[in-house]
Amino acid sequence: MTDSFSNLSLAPTLARAVAEMGYESMTPIQAQAIPVVLTGQDVMGAAQTGTGKTAAFSLPLLQRLLKHENPSTSPARHPVRALVLLPTRELADQVAQQIKLYAKYTQLRSAVVFGGMDMKPQTLELKKGVEILVATPGRLLDHIEAKNAVLNQVEYVVLDEADRMLDIGFLPDLQRILSFLPKQRTTLLFSATFSPEIKRLAGSYLQNPITIEVARPNETAATVEQRFYAAQDDDKRRVIRKVLTERGIKQAFIFVNSKLGCGRLARSLEREGLRTAALHGDKSQDERLKALEAFKQGEVDLLVCTDVAARGLDIKDVPAVFNFDVPFNAEDYVHRIGRTGRAGASGLAVTLVSPSDTRLVGDIEKLIKKKLDVETVQLDSRPQASEDRPRGRASEGRHREHDPRDVLDAPQERRGGFRPAPVNRDPFFQKPYEPSASETAPSWEPSGPKTVRSAISANIKPKRKVAALFKSGE
């Protein structure tokens, strides 16, 4: 599996950038995809963010665009040659930053456009001419309509995180965008799943694609300690606080199923004195970047987030992940807890299970092929009603049942309308990318072996089976 970049005969300008990034060998998706993309064939790649996918498509794409590099200042000499489409602003921003790094010793220009930001600076950049344009679909259409982006010389298009783009409802936008592109082009589609919708999309827009799948385990890393605690919605925050205190955990992600629940939970935790930030699709771009930065800098301890907002964020590892809500899609459970316990570090994943979640826990059991036990937690005393109950609501979890539109966290620029996530999605194919041993450990990982498991509270009662636990509540 360890292939060296030197086998690729990349141009010296690209090889130098790769060397500077400190990459020693290719990740599995890179080893498979780069040689294929270098031949100009269409690719259907099963991989998700964190696998080294960005370099897998951008390095060969840059290599093939080098024939167009030129020092001219004339915008006409820098038409858009490659278009990379992504579902969210954060992903677009991250991918654009990586492409800039890979292209830094070339004369190829790149830019990123996404919604939630002023169009003017983006327009100025586009007007100067760029060879590689990274974009979210809605904002790109705005620029096409404003005649800021002309796509008739595009040779490569990358549909990245295609499944998520379809989930969000971007299909009509994608179809429109693709209608502006020359028929003669290379199309690369990357998706964590190959659902029937994705296959249909590929059937319509890809020509004889080479399918690249990297091993597809639905496994959760052995280094993650997974615990399921029974908790009524009103008690969940107290369980989180208890686990954080008892385990001495400083930072954690807390996943919720809705934007509404996300903001509300973050506010409640903040009121209780925990340094918390919320990350969801209704936050402005600026707010999201600030929240992320604060978390990375250790100024914020808890990041409450929805699946869409968290997906693909380049935060390598956190000591713990809490599922405040059990995810509706079992695959999201695997994605969520993949945030912790990476690269051999130990991690803790706590899922808070309320009586109505039995079926969802069953879905997770089926997917990860593991019997899960839900434990009960002894909480010290009942909190005052005003502290634990959001005003005007019986419980934080109620909205999930009552307003389906609140469940999906889609970007503000969504145009295609609400479409619930398909339930029967394929499992994802590739484990998160594991950084090399030389990478410095995150600041919160103490050196030396860890024994997370040993720290279990005396207040946590012996395990009981899920069904038995909720028999009376069902």
Q: What residue ranges bind ligand AMP (CB under 6 A)? A: 23, 26-27, 30, 49-55, 314, 433, 436
CA dist 404 and 422 (Å) reads: 13
In terms of CB distance, is 23 or 105 closer to ligand AMP? 23
Residue whose CB is less far from ligand AMP, 169 or 347:
347
Which amino acid is it at 454?
S
Least distance from ligand AMP to the Cβ atom of residue 18, Å: 8
Residue 180 beta carbon to ligand AMP: minimum distance, rounded to whole angstroms? 26
Q: How far apart are CA 240 and CA 62, in angstroms?
A: 46
User: Residue 23 CB, nearest distance to ligand AMP (Å)?
Assistant: 3
String of b and e for 22-45 (b: at least 16 CB within 10 Å)? ebeebbbbbbbbbbbbbeebbbbb
Nearest one of 323, 415, 398 to 407, comparing CA atoms? 398
In this structure, the chain runs to a length of 474
**Minimum gap (Å) between residue 261 Cβ and ligand AMP:** 27
The residue (of 52 and 261) whose beta carbon lies closer to ligand AMP is 52
CB 2 → ligand AMP: shortest distance, Å? 10
Q: Which is nearer to ligand AMP, 27 or 186 (CB)?
A: 27
C-alpha count within 13 angstroms, C-beta hemisphere, residue 252:
25
Nearest CB to ligand AMP, comparing residues 433 and 470: 433
Contact 49, 216 (CB under 8 A): no
Cβ nearer to ligand AMP, comparing 23 with 180: 23
Q: How far is the CB of 193 from ligand AMP (least distance, A)?
A: 16
Q: How far is the CB of 56 from ligand AMP (least distance, A)?
A: 7
Kindly state the smallest distance separating residue 31's Cβ from ligand AMP, in Å: 9
Given a contact cutoff of 8 angstroms between Cβ atoms, the answer to whether 312 and 94 are in contact is yes
Shortest distance in whole angstroms from residue 95 CB to ligand AMP? 7
Which of 27/354 has CB closer to ligand AMP? Answer: 27
- From residue 364, how far is each of 217, 230, 231, 372, 433 by CA, in Å? 14, 15, 18, 9, 22
Calpha distance 282→25 (Å, rounded): 39
- Residue type at 328 in one-letter notation: F
Q: Which is nearer to ligand AMP, 55 or 452 (CB)?
A: 55
20 vs 387, which CB is nearer to ligand AMP?
Answer: 20
